[in-house]
Amino acid sequence: MNTTEEIKKAVKESYTKIAVAEKDEESCCSPGCCGGESTAIVVDMDYSKLKGYNPDADLNLGCGLPTEFAKIKEGDTVVDLGSGAGNDVFVARAITGEKGKVIGVDFTEAMIEKARKNNQKIGFNNVEFRYGDIENLPVEDNIADVVISNCVLNLVPDKKKAFGEIYRAMKTGGHFSVSDIVVNGVLPEKIQKAAAMYAGCISGAVSQDEYLQVIKEAGFKNVRVQIETPYTIHDSLILDYITSDELKQFKASGTKIVSINVYAEK
């Protein structure tokens, strides 16, 4: 899996399966993805207590709670990148209220369909789900007061282009808060090339320093990590791609996979 087209195809196929699966089936970044045991464990990610939470929209795909750190205000226009079935969109809508607007963007058609059906049940007239690619956002210039995203930007092959699009879409004075997976160290080459691990939010992750540098180069200011949480992958999943000896070397290397929530302003 070397080309952008191959990466995007793998991600779309994976998330289409999640979108059409039954609610109790496991999802890609959730426990059980790609194996019988928990793929990853991220603490303190309980949406159920948040105002606006909709269980039908929660597919357990996140790696953080970006809305909790996003400083969304009543009346804001919010854009959610990789909105899935609408989980963060509905939580953001509870904060913006009737005077605001929330736009969810996703490039998996089945997710857009699922999100729109969820919204039909609720009846919000200021919530919209648009089909599109984060590298070419289907939104106007300077439209967003706040941009959020939850464990999605690591799936985008061209992160420089993605953050450039976020900058374009954001109002001057606006800001973003995104949860994502980064790597402190180097992943084994076999994991980097595995399609399932890419769609599972791991092999598409770059180093934390590189991630923050891309954001700064896009023009954002006041870039800071709001929270950092260890992200644990069970050995059984990794052993699908590397040998036991390679696993020992990987652990000895000190490489850490981390969930971070990043804030930045335009």
pLDDT in tens, 106-154: 999 999 999 999 999 999 999 999 999 999 999 999 999 999 999 899 8
What pTM was computed for the model?
0.87
pLDDT score of 7? 74
Q: How many residues does the chain have?
A: 266
Residue 73 has pLDDT above 60, yes or no: yes
> What is the radius of gyration, based on Cα positions, of the chain?
17
Which tokens in the block code for residue 12?
């779309």
| pLDDT class of 81 with cuts at 50, 70, 90 | very high
Q: Which CA distances in Å does 231 have to 28, 135, 168? A: 14, 26, 31
Q: What share of the chain is helix, strand, coil (3-state, %, to 5)?
A: 35, 25, 40
| Averaged pLDDT, 156-173 | 96
pLDDT score of 126? 97
Q: CA 264 to CA 70: how far, in whole Å?
A: 10
**Residue with more model confidence, 39 or 173:** 173
**Domains and their CATH numbers in the chain:** 4-265 (3.40.50.150)
| Averaged pLDDT, 168-181 | 96
- What torsion do the CA atoms of 47, 150, 102, 85 make, to the nearest 10 degrees? -70
Q: Dihedral sign for Cα 221, 50, 151, 37, please.
A: positive
Q: Which CA distances in Å does 190 have to 21, 176, 211, 247? A: 28, 33, 22, 11
Dump pLDDT digits (tens) for 13-54. 778 888 888 554 444 444 334 333 334 434 456 788 889 989
Per the CB < 8 A criterion, the answer to whether 89 and 127 are in contact is: yes
pLDDT score of 263? 98
Choose from 7-21, 42-56, 62-76 the range with maximum mean pLDDT. Answer: 62-76
Q: Could you identify the residue written with the tokens 């770059």?
A: 206
Dump pLDDT digits (tens) for 193-234. 665 555 555 656 788 999 999 999 999 999 999 999 887 777
Q: CA 243 to CA 252: how far, in whole Å?
A: 14
% of the chain at pLDDT higher than 70: 84
| pLDDT class of 104 with cuts at 50, 70, 90 | very high
Query: Side by side, which strands form the sheet with 256-265?
Result: 127-131, 101-106, 77-81, 144-150, 170-184, 256-265, 221-230
Per the CB < 8 A criterion, the answer to whether 95 and 72 are in contact is: yes
| Averaged pLDDT, 1-19 | 77
Residue 71 has pLDDT above 80, yes or no: yes
Q: CA 159 to CA 228: how far, in whole Å?
A: 20
First-to-last alpha carbon distance for the chain, in angstroms, is 34
| Averaged pLDDT, 244-250 | 77
Q: CA 127 to CA 47: how far, in whole Å?
A: 19
